[in-house]
């Protein structure tokens, strides 16, 4: 039975997860020094190190990380395809690529040791989130260049559980597989988990009757309200994890049995949280942009990679026994943030507001336009079929409740367009939540 305060039994895959803090920081410093020496073969870093007299011996504490340069996705693009490669090409065992959702995809390489490290990192959060060797896992992530499918696949193998590599899409087939093979664990994006629940209802099935017990979801920002929605609709425990292709893929952090933030794998990553405008550290617990240095990656090590992901970091002890820093949910990306009449808005704030109103669903589209001189926001939101009414006053009252919640959470005024179920496009991968027409209006 789980300890009070834990969603499940508290389990640890790798003893390194519970290193005492002084030992962990000593290991980080040792690995940071080795990294500085290793990336001296990469032109982008070598030039900066030469100009600023940075060597392995000049790194005396973890605070010296701030002497090192930031790396951005644009830097990677300028040095495509593999300009950041730190090992001979003959040592490359795998090449993956980013999803390309924010522009041209970037390619990243892995050595055989990188792949072993990656599988172990994914195994950590999978075990922390209930996976056991006797389980069967259905992976409904895309395979191919995208890191999600393969990262989770090899993490599950490392634990010793069985895998159904269903890949993404074809919801009817996903449900047939769930019915026939009875997997206990589902891996996909959180929005696709709800699509599977919708698909079950379309087939006359109660999604809560499916054999699934656990879900491991990532690949897009999602809220606590959406977690509750997924758990209610599928009758499972849902766990959050975080990663990105440029760093290693999934496995950078993940939730434990306490589900109170995602534990960063700090023996492999040095993580900072900065103000994206000033580039200075933010106070602990305040939202900022995550900046990640890969301490052990061999093929394409990254120094101070600006993820553009906005989250909070927490360092207080966790009852699970891990001593690592935890990160909160990703609120959004600094480059995805909408500025509406001077107010900063993340799509996740709209989602949070919608799920506060009974009868709405997590399927929505934010349309931003500027028909005149002022920004105008329309939120199209699906509502449950039973909420539709031929009484205009009831529908207007529902629109007003949603608009009030959006204003309370996000601080903006928005028009609300109620649409019938399944009118918003579904995505097997990352959901597209924003249609910004202002650029078209300004051109």
Residue 400 pLDDT exceeds 90: yes
Across 377-397, b (16+ Cβ under 10 Å) vs e yields: bebbbbbeeebeeeeeeeeee
Q: What is the pLDDT of residues 48-92, one digit of tens each?
A: 999 999 999 999 999 999 999 999 988 998 998 899 999 999 999
Q: What is the pLDDT of residues 132-184, one digit of tens each?
A: 999 999 999 988 888 989 999 999 999 999 999 999 889 999 999 999 999 99
φ/ψ of 109, rounded to 5, equals -115, 160
Matching residue, tokens 């039994």 = 9
Query: What pLDDT, on a 0 to 100 scale, did the predictor assign at position 342?
Result: 67
Q: Which helix H or strand E contains 230, and what residues bound it?
A: helix 224-234
Cα–Cα distance measured from residue 70 to residue 200, given in angstroms and rounded to the nearest whole number: 46
Q: Same topology for domains 15-21+95-333 and 338-442, yes or no? A: no
Query: What pLDDT, on a 0 to 100 scale, did the predictor assign at position 15?
Result: 96
Residue 1 pLDDT exceeds 60: no
Residue 350 pLDDT exceeds 60: yes
Query: What pLDDT, on a 0 to 100 scale, did the predictor assign at position 373?
Result: 65
Query: What pLDDT, on a 0 to 100 scale, did the predictor assign at position 443?
Result: 40
Query: What pLDDT, on a 0 to 100 scale, did the predictor assign at position 103?
Result: 53
8 Å CB contact between 265 and 31: no
Q: Which residues are paired to 262 by β-bridges?
A: 255, 327
CATH number of 338-442: 3.30.300.30
Q: What is the pLDDT of residues 35-55, one digit of tens each?
A: 999 999 999 999 899 999 999
Residue 428 pLDDT grade (very low, low, confident, very high; cuts 50, 70, 90): low
Query: What pLDDT, on a 0 to 100 scale, did the predictor assign at position 156?
Result: 98
Calculate what percentage of the chain has a pLDDT beyond 70. Answer: 95
Residue 413 pLDDT exceeds 80: yes
Q: What is the pLDDT of residues 178-228, one digit of tens each?
A: 999 999 999 999 989 999 999 999 999 999 999 999 999 998 888 898 899
Residue 386 pLDDT exceeds 90: no
Q: Give the pLDDT mean for 17-31.
A: 97
* Choice between 421 and 301, residue whose per-residue pLDDT is larger: 301
8 Å CB contact between 274 and 304: no
Calculate what percentage of the chain has a pLDDT beyond 90. Answer: 70
| Mean per-residue pLDDT of the chain | 91
In this structure, the number of other CB atoms found within 10 A of the CB of residue 410 comes to: 24
Residue 244 pLDDT exceeds 50: yes
For the chain, what are the domain ranges?
Answer: 15-21+95-333, 338-442
Residues 6 or more apart from 90 whose CB is under 8 A from it?
none
8 Å CB contact between 313 and 287: no
Closest by CA position to 14, among listed 117, 112, 115: 117
8 Å CB contact between 150 and 143: yes
Residue 245 pLDDT exceeds 80: yes
Cα–Cα distance measured from residue 300 to residue 298, given in angstroms and rounded to the nearest whole number: 6
Residue 97 pLDDT exceeds 90: no
Cα–Cα distance measured from residue 145 to residue 149, given in angstroms and rounded to the nearest whole number: 9
Query: What pLDDT, on a 0 to 100 scale, did the predictor assign at position 370?
Result: 79
CA distances to 372, 439, 440 from 443, in Å: 13, 6, 5
* Choice between 156 and 433, residue whose per-residue pLDDT is larger: 156
Query: What pLDDT, on a 0 to 100 scale, did the predictor assign at position 437?
Result: 81
- Would you identify the CATH topology of the domain 15-21+95-333? Rossmann fold (3.40.50)
- C-alpha torsion angle, residues 44, 311, 260, 272 (rounded to 10): 40
Residue 438 pLDDT exceeds 90: no
Query: What pLDDT, on a 0 to 100 scale, did the predictor assign at position 327?
Result: 97
């Amino acid at each position: 039975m789980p300890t009070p305060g834990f969603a499940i039994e508290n389990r640890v895959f790798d003893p390194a997860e519970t290193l005492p803090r002084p030992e962990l920081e000593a290991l980080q410093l040792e690995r940071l020094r080795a990294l500085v020496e290793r990336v001296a073969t990469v032109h982008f870093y070598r030039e900066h190190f030469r100009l600023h007299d940075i060597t392995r011996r000049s790194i005396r504490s973890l605070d010296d990380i701030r002497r090192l340069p930031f790396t951005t996705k644009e830097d990677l693009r300028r040095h495509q395809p593999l300009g950041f490669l730190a090992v001979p090409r003959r040592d490359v065992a795998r090449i993956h690529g980013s999803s390309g959702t924010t522009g041209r995809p970037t390619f990243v390489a892995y050595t055989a040791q990188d792949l072993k490290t990656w599988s172990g990192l994914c195994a950590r959060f999978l075990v922390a989130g209930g996976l056991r060797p006797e389980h069967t896992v259905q992976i409904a992530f895309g395979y191919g260049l995208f890191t999600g499918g393969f990262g989770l696949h090899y993490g599950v193998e490392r634990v010793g559980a069985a895998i159904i590599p269903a890949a993404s899409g074809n919801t009817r087939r996903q449900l047939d597989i769930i019915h026939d093979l009875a997997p206990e664990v589902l891996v996909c994006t959180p929005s696709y988990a709800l699509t599977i629940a919708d698909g079950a209802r379309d087939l006359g099935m109660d999604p809560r009757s499916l054999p699934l017990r656990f879900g491991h979801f990532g690949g897009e920002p999602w809220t606590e309200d959406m977690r509750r929605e997924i758990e209610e609709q599928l009758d499972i425990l849902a766990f959050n994890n975080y990663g990105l292709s440029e760093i290693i893929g999934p496995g950078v952090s993940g939730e434990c049995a306490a589900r109170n933030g995602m534990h960063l794998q700090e023996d492999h990553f040095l993580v900072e949280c900065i103000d994206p405008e000033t580039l200075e550290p933010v106070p602990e617990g305040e939202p900022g942009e995550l900046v990640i240095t890969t301490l052990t990656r061999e093929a394409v090590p990254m120094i101070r990679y600006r993820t553009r992901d906005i989250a909070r970091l927490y360092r207080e002890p966790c009852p699970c026994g891990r001593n690592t820093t935890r990160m909160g949910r990703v609120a959004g990306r600094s480059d995805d943030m909408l500025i509406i009449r001077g107010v900063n808005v993340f799509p996740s704030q709209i989602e949070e507001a919608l799920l506060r109103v009974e009868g709405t669903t997590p399927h929505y589209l934010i349309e931003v336009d500027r028909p005149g001189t002022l920004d105008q926001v329309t939120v199209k939101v699906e509502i449950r079929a039973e909420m539709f009414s031929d009484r205009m006053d009831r529908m207007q009252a529902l629109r007003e409740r949603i608009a009030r919640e959006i204003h309370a959470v996000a601080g903006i005024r928005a028009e609300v367009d109620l649409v019938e179920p399944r009118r918003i496009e579904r995505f097997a991968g990352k959901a597209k939540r924003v249609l910004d027409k202002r650029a078209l209006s300004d051109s």
